[in-house]
Structures are given as C-alpha cells and as structure tokens.
Amino acid sequence: MKISFILPADNLSGGIRVIAIYAKKLKERGHDVFIVMPPSRPRNFKERVKSVLSWGWVKKTFEPKNSFFDGQDVRPQVLEKYRPVKDKDLPDADVVVATWWETAEWVANLSKSKGIKAYFIQGHEVFDFCPKERVIATYLLPFHKITISTWLADLMRTRYGDPAVSLVPNSVDTEQFYARPRGKQKEPTVGMLYSTFAWKGCDVGLKAFSLAAQKTTGLRLVAYGLRKPSAKLSLPPGSYYVQQPAQNTIKDIYAQCDAWLFTSRSEGFGLPILEAMACRTPVIGTPAGAAPELLASGGGILVKPEDSEDMAKAIIRVCCMQENEWEKMSEDANKQAVKYTWDDAAKLFERKLSELIGIKLL
C-alpha cells in the first residue's frame, strides 16, 4: 500500500510517538509511507495577548529538542511555513490519514488521487483552545475512523453516529520501556508526568501527594515533563524533576517508583500507563483514556475522577503493602503491558487500512 500521514506539526506528544511507530512498522512490512506536516504554528494575536497577561511576556512557540522520527527511515516532509497541506505537497496514494482535527479539514479538500480518506483519532479534541464547532464537524466527515481506546470508539458510534469505527489499541515498546523484577523502594516513591495543561490533572496528583505525605514518612515525588515547572503549579520541596529526558532514560524514572500517578481528566489513551507498567511500576489512575481496561487486571488501582483524597488513599495503600503483595502487583502490571505488542497493533492497523481500500493481504 501507499500510505500518507498528515500531521499538524512535530512534537513530543504521545500521539506523535504512536504515528512514528506505525510509520516505522508499516515501512518494515513493505508499504510506502509518506509523512507531511507544516512547521509549528506561530502564536496568533489573541494568544500573544494572553501570554503577556499570564506571564508578562510573549512565550515563544515551544520547539522540542528531538523527535520521535529521529533515526527512522521515514522522515517527515516539512512545509516551508505553517499552512494547510494541499495536493501538491504529497504523492498519489492508496490511503491518506488525517491525525488531528485541523488535518482532517485539510484532508477533506484533497483530491481522490491522494487516496481514500481515513481519520486516526487519538483523542476527543474538543478542547477549550480549539474551535469546538470545527472540531465537531470533522468527526462528522465521511472518513473511516480508527480510534485507540474503547471509550473513543463508543463516543464515535453514539455521539457522532459512526457504526463502522475501528478500534486499534495502543501498545508499548518493551525494548525501550522495561525493568528487572524488584522490590519496593527504600524510600516510598511515587511518580507522575508534569504538565500545566488542565486536562492532565497535575493539580489533582500534587494535592494527592501532599495528603499522602502527611501520613507516609519520607514520601518522595519524581516527575518528568516537557517544560520547566510553573510557579502556579509548583512541585513539592525535595521533588526530583527531569525536563525533556532522553527517551532511553525515561524507563529509569518509572523504575524508581513504587507507583505511577495517572492524573488525567481527559485522555485519548494514556501511554504513560503502559510505559510505567512495562517497567513493573503499578499505576494509580483516574478513569480516563484506557485506564479502566488496563488497570482491571490488577496491575494498579483505579481511583475516582478528580478526587485527590481517593488518590492519596491509594498512594498510602501501595506504600504500606507488604513486599510480596507489592511484588505481585508489580508483576501483574508487567504482564498486562507485554501481552499485546506494537507488532500486533501494526498488523491490526494495516488490516484496517487494507480493508478500507479493498486490498486483501497475504
């Protein structure tokens, strides 16, 4: 197959990581894969004013130090400036895949020669910073939808009336995320992904940590994120924080924790859940994204949404576990993470695309 992916920009989000993995796997399986995207969008007037009011200056557009496409055979073609992708920017193909609401608008305007149109939906992108009416309109476009979690597939069926939506769950790279069997930490330690985006729920996790620390002697917090911690959402004194860690070191952050906090209010899937579990770290998570399915097998604890007290109780429970009880939960987490591989996911994604264009794979 000839497959084109249209990206909104390059960044270090979980969604871009997933697309990079599929591009690599599909290329390895003998398909022609083409990726095109614009450079990062410059801030508009409204965003610049908001930045000045919030921070006192115009924050620069965030540029990652590296890319999930580094070292891969499939390298994205970057447009000369931020603008819609057009016919002239990509080759004729069998299928063209939109990967974000704005790219779905661009794909809608492409000619038939660019391929049958598919929409890879990794989240319900009706965010406050997006034009909600336009986002909703993209979910009503006559594209075949592929989603990554049960809740998203159900949402596309029930709210947007698409009975044919395909479900292709995410996996985790166990060559990148792994850890040997271990016991509990000498100092009770929990970790979390740091972000100032409200839907990531870091405020919930930080409050839960504070509550749990009052009843757990020596409780320690580790975290990583893309940006420096904000004074408006500060980390507790003594926290260990890594900004933009090298990809091959993230496993070490997970592996030094007794539990990983998944705090999101809304999430398409929640890759850190599987990453932590692959590193034998139980997850204490809110019921966002794929957390209900992933934590059902005993590799963690599902807590009430936006409930810091419930999360704090779970932290205390994990920290107070007997060694053998914790080791059992750690092993259950790892078993859940490794039972479905990226090769499995790539084969399923490949099959959905081939069915869409009417090609029967050998």
Find all residues with CB under 8 Å of 164, minimum gap 6, and list them: 144, 145
Q: What is the pLDDT of residue 71?
A: 83
- Dump pLDDT digits (tens) for 156-185: 999 999 999 999 999 999 999 999 999 999
Torsion sign, CA atoms 172, 176, 182, 186: negative
Compute and round to an integer the Cα radius of gyration of the chain: 21
Q: Comparing C-alpha atoms, which of 126, 182, 184 is closest to residue 152? A: 126
Is residue 37 assigned to a domain?
yes
Residue 58 pLDDT level (bands cut at 50, 70, 90):
very low
3-state secondary structure the chain: CEEEEECCCCCCCHHHHHHHHHHHHHHHCCCEEEEEECCCCCCCHHHHHHHHHHHCCCCCCCCCCCCCCCCCCCCCEECCCCCCCCHHHCCCCCEEEECCHHHHHHHHCCCHHHCEEEEEECCCCCCCCCCHHHHHHHHCCCCEEEECCHHHHHHHHHCCCCCCCEECCCCCCCCCCCCCCCCCCCCCEEEEECCCCHHHCHHHHHHHHHHHHCCCCCCEEEEEECCCCCHHHCCCCCCEEEECCCHHHHHHHHHCCCEEEECCCCCCCCHHHHHHHHCCCCEEECCCCCHHHHCCCCCEEECCCCCHHHHHHHHHHHHCCCHHHHHHHHHHHHHHHHCCCHHHHHHHHHHHHHHHHCCCCC
Q: What is the pLDDT of residue 55?
A: 43
Q: Based on the domain organization, do 329 and 346 belong to the same domain?
A: no
- Dump pLDDT digits (tens) for 315-334: 999 999 999 999 999 999 99
- Dump pLDDT digits (tens) for 263-318: 999 999 999 999 999 999 999 999 999 999 999 989 999 999 999 999 999 999 99
Dihedral pair phi/psi, residue 217, rounded to 5°: -60, 130
Q: Based on the domain organization, do 334 and 348 belong to the same domain?
A: no
Q: What is the dihedral of CA 139, 142, 146, 152, to 10 degrees?
A: 30
Q: Based on the domain organization, do 134 and 207 belong to the same domain?
A: no
Q: Which domain holds residue 62?
A: 2-171+341-357
Is residue 325 assigned to a domain?
yes
Is residue 17 assigned to a domain?
yes
Q: Mean pLDDT in the chain?
A: 92
Q: Based on the domain organization, do 88 and 127 belong to the same domain?
A: yes
- Dump pLDDT digits (tens) for 93-139: 999 999 999 999 999 999 999 999 999 999 999 888 889 999 999 99
Is residue 184 assigned to a domain?
no
Residue 253 pLDDT level (bands cut at 50, 70, 90):
very high
Find all residues with CB under 8 Å of 297, minimum gap 6, and list them: 332, 335, 336
Residue 67 pLDDT level (bands cut at 50, 70, 90):
confident
Q: Based on the domain organization, do 327 and 245 belong to the same domain?
A: yes
Q: What is the mean pLDDT of residues 215-227?
A: 95
Q: What is the pLDDT of residue 306?
A: 93
Q: Based on the domain organization, do 52 and 154 belong to the same domain?
A: yes
Q: Comparing C-alpha atoms, which of 150, 133, 34 is closest to residue 91? A: 34
Q: Based on the domain organization, do 80 and 218 belong to the same domain?
A: no
Q: Tokens 């920290």 correspond to what residue?
A: 319
Is 50 exceeded by the pLDDT of residue 361?
Answer: yes
Contact 36, 79 (CB under 8 A): yes
Q: Based on the domain organization, do 350 and 237 belong to the same domain?
A: no
- The percentage of the chain sitting over the pLDDT mark of 90, rounded to a whole number, equals 83
Q: Based on the domain organization, do 303 and 351 belong to the same domain?
A: no
> What is the number of alpha carbons within 13 Å of residue 100 lying toward its C-beta?
21
Is residue 68 assigned to a domain?
yes
4 strand-pairing partners: 34, 96
98 strand-pairing partners: 6, 119
Q: Judging by DSSP bridges, how do beta strands 116-121 and 144-147 pair with one another?
A: parallel
pTM: 0.85
Domain count, the chain: 2
Is residue 176 assigned to a domain?
no
Structure tokens at 87: 């016919």
Q: Based on the domain organization, do 226 and 159 belong to the same domain?
A: no
Contact 135, 101 (CB under 8 A): yes
Q: What is the pLDDT of residue 275?
A: 97
CATH number (domain holding residue 213): 3.40.50.2000
Is 80 exceeded by the pLDDT of residue 49?
Answer: no
259 strand-pairing partners: 190
Report the alpha-carbon distance of residue 19 to residue 284 in Å, rounded.
27
Is residue 146 assigned to a domain?
yes
Q: What is the pLDDT of residue 360?
A: 67
Q: Based on the domain organization, do 153 and 13 belong to the same domain?
A: yes
Report the alpha-carbon distance of residue 72 to residue 80 in Å, rounded.
22
Is residue 166 assigned to a domain?
yes
Q: Based on the domain organization, do 214 and 295 belong to the same domain?
A: yes
Is 60 exceeded by the pLDDT of residue 64?
Answer: no
Residue 45 pLDDT level (bands cut at 50, 70, 90):
low
Q: What is the pLDDT of residue 12?
A: 80
Structure tokens at 168: 């292709």
